[in-house]
Amino acid sequence: MMTPHKNQGGDSAALSIRSLVKRYGSVVATDGVSLDVSAGEFMSLLGPSGSGKTTLLMLLAGFEVADGGEIRMRDRDISRVPPNKRDIGMVFQRYALFPHMSVAQNVAFPLRMRGVAKADREARVRAALETVELTGYLDRMPAQLSGGQQQRVALARAIVFEPGILLMDEPLGALDRKLRKHMQVELKELQGRLGATVIYVTHDQEEALAMSDRVAIINAGRIEQLATPRELYDAPASAFVGDFIGEINLFDAKVEELESGGIKLASGFGPLTGTPVPGATFSRGQKVHVGIRPERIAVRAGAASDGWQAGIRQTIFNGSNVTVYATMQDGQELRATVAPNDREASLARGEAISLSAAPRDVFVFPAGAA
């Protein structure tokens, strides 16, 4: 088995990025990004297409050169160090295996480029393939492997020289959903065994939440929020993050009163009380965005006087829950989820219901922050 990589120097930050900028003509792809990645951490860069997450990964790998800022790896400035001198392993979405080379030759390639002696090279190749459970595949060609096996070969090639950091660019994107789920577990377990520091690019929110210690939400070349998966879900810093992570109802409202326990709001379908996002300031009469997770909305049959009045437009069975699509009095729609065995799950189209949510589950964002 391969041994976990040791963080030389004892610095808890395996990688530090400061004010990193990358422009392509008039387009700013990376706009002053700063972050620290701890040794042994699994961090995901998550964002929509064109947000700048892959550009950031290419800057870290050395395939692109920043126009400004600094990249430090264990307190060494690597901003202009070539890729093969950065002590960084890379796994791509399409694996980038050499089709004319066997599995063993593919895995040995980075060792050959570093001048590792043949005997040591063969031992390390076998150790890497043992780590990804492919010891019986040394002489196979890439075309003879399944997608999951090719992905493991690419991983073995990335870890064989025991890099300080592993960069992964949508490494599971070419796999079908079932295999992707399986490989998520295997990849996370492998990272734990190696003690590897991983920076993982994905546009799949479910994948990022399942695998990461922390997630950086990238939007328009900037980090919108950097936090644990649970923090992102339970306390989004903006309407963009709330909308990008999980399901959420977003609608407009107006501040009525500011109280120590929350903000009283007026919406098109009635009054509600919410919790402001940290760092935001609000004033009476201000327009705001409001977000509520569907599972945080309580649904009751009938038109209760202490709830928001609505009618059922439709219900959809999703297996583990039922989504209730409710039409509010002002015509807008809210989604709520209930358990399949709840009475509300069997209500018919057009029946009257009332909705409610606790103030802590009603996120209040400044207008224009979506």
Domain shared by 92 and 220, yes or no: yes
Q: Which CA distances in Å does 165 have to 38, 56, 157, 272?
A: 10, 15, 13, 47
Domain shared by 200 and 288, yes or no: no
Instruction: Report whether pLDDT(48) > 60.
Output: yes
pLDDT tens readout for residues 54-66: 999 999 999 999 9
Domain shared by 303 and 281, yes or no: yes
Instruction: Report whether pLDDT(115) > 50.
Output: yes
Domain shared by 32 and 75, yes or no: yes
What pLDDT, on a 0 to 100 scale, did the predictor assign at position 8? Answer: 39
- The answer to whether residues 107 and 157 touch, using CB atoms and an 8 Å cutoff, is yes
Q: Concatenated DSSP letters for 169-211?
A: ESTTTTS-HHHHHHHHHHHHHHHHHHT-EEEEEES-HHHHHHH
- The answer to whether residues 52 and 220 touch, using CB atoms and an 8 Å cutoff, is yes
Domain shared by 275 and 212, yes or no: no
Domain shared by 230 and 97, yes or no: yes
Domain shared by 221 and 253, yes or no: no
pTM as predicted: 0.85
- The identity of residue 11, as a single letter, is D
Number of domains in the chain: 2
Asked if the structure places residue 347 within a domain, the reply is yes
- The answer to whether residues 362 and 273 touch, using CB atoms and an 8 Å cutoff, is yes
Stretch 157-181: mean pLDDT, rounded?
83
What pLDDT, on a 0 to 100 scale, did the predictor assign at position 12? Answer: 59
What pLDDT, on a 0 to 100 scale, did the predictor assign at position 142? Answer: 92
The conformational region for residue 96 under phi > 0 = left, psi -120 to 50 = alpha, else beta, is left
Domain shared by 287 and 323, yes or no: yes
- The answer to whether residues 316 and 322 touch, using CB atoms and an 8 Å cutoff, is yes
Asked if the structure places residue 257 within a domain, the reply is yes
Q: Percent of the chain at pLDDT above 90? A: 59
Domain shared by 191 and 52, yes or no: yes
Instruction: Report whether pLDDT(127) > 60.
Output: yes
Instruction: Report whether pLDDT(88) > 50.
Output: yes
Domain shared by 231 and 127, yes or no: yes
The CATH number given to whatever domain includes residue 166 is 3.40.50.300
What pLDDT, on a 0 to 100 scale, did the predictor assign at position 177? Answer: 82
Across-strand partners of 353? 301, 310
- The answer to whether residues 362 and 352 touch, using CB atoms and an 8 Å cutoff, is no
Confidence category of residue 162, pLDDT binned at 50, 70, 90: confident
pLDDT tens readout for residues 172-214: 877 778 878 888 888 888 888 888 899 999 888 889 999 999 9
pLDDT tens readout for residues 220-247: 999 999 999 999 999 999 999 999 998 9
pLDDT tens readout for residues 275-294: 998 888 899 999 999 999 99
- The answer to whether residues 245 and 329 touch, using CB atoms and an 8 Å cutoff, is no
Confidence category of residue 7, pLDDT binned at 50, 70, 90: very low
Q: Which of 237, 262, 291 is the last residue of a domain?
A: 237
What pLDDT, on a 0 to 100 scale, did the predictor assign at position 3? Answer: 47
Asked if the structure places residue 310 within a domain, the reply is yes
Domain shared by 212 and 257, yes or no: no
The CATH number given to whatever domain includes residue 289 is 2.40.50.140
Residue 136's contacts (CB-CB under 8 Å, 6 or more residues apart) are none
d(CA 363, CA 54): 30
Q: Out of 101-105, 110-114, 215-219, 237-241, which region has the weakest mean confidence (pLDDT)? A: 110-114
3-class SS at 2? coil
Instruction: Report whether pLDDT(1) > 80.
Output: no
Asked if the structure places residue 3 within a domain, the reply is no
Instruction: Count other Cβ atoms within 10 Å, centred on residue 283.
Output: 7
307-311 contact pairs (CB < 8 A, 24+): 307/354, 307/355, 307/356, 308/269, 308/270, 308/272, 308/354, 308/355, 308/356, 309/269, 309/270, 309/352, 309/354, 310/269, 310/334, 310/352, 310/353, 310/354, 310/355, 311/350, 311/351, 311/352, 311/353
Asked if the structure places residue 2 within a domain, the reply is no
- Structural domain that includes position 116: 8-237
Residue 175's contacts (CB-CB under 8 Å, 6 or more residues apart) are 147, 148, 151, 183
Q: Which CA distances in Å does 18 have to 15, 80, 241?
A: 10, 14, 22
Q: Which of 335, 358, 357, 368 is nearest to 238 (CA)?
A: 368
pLDDT tens readout for residues 251-272: 999 999 998 778 999 999 999 9
Q: Which of 190, 212, 237 is the last residue of a domain?
A: 237
pLDDT tens readout for residues 299-352: 999 877 789 999 999 999 988 899 999 999 999 999 999 999 888 888 889 999
In sign, the C-alpha dihedral spanning 124, 130, 136, 138 is negative
Q: Which of 237, 267, 300 is the last residue of a domain?
A: 237
Asked if the structure places residue 111 within a domain, the reply is yes
3-class SS at 290? strand
Asked if the structure places residue 164 within a domain, the reply is yes
In sign, the C-alpha dihedral spanning 192, 160, 110, 187 is negative
pLDDT averaged over every residue in the chain: 89
Stretch 354-360: mean pLDDT, rounded?
94
Q: Which of 121, 120, 130, 181 is nearest to 155 (CA)?
A: 130
Asked if the structure places residue 242 within a domain, the reply is no
d(CA 241, CA 262): 21
Domain shared by 176 and 69, yes or no: yes
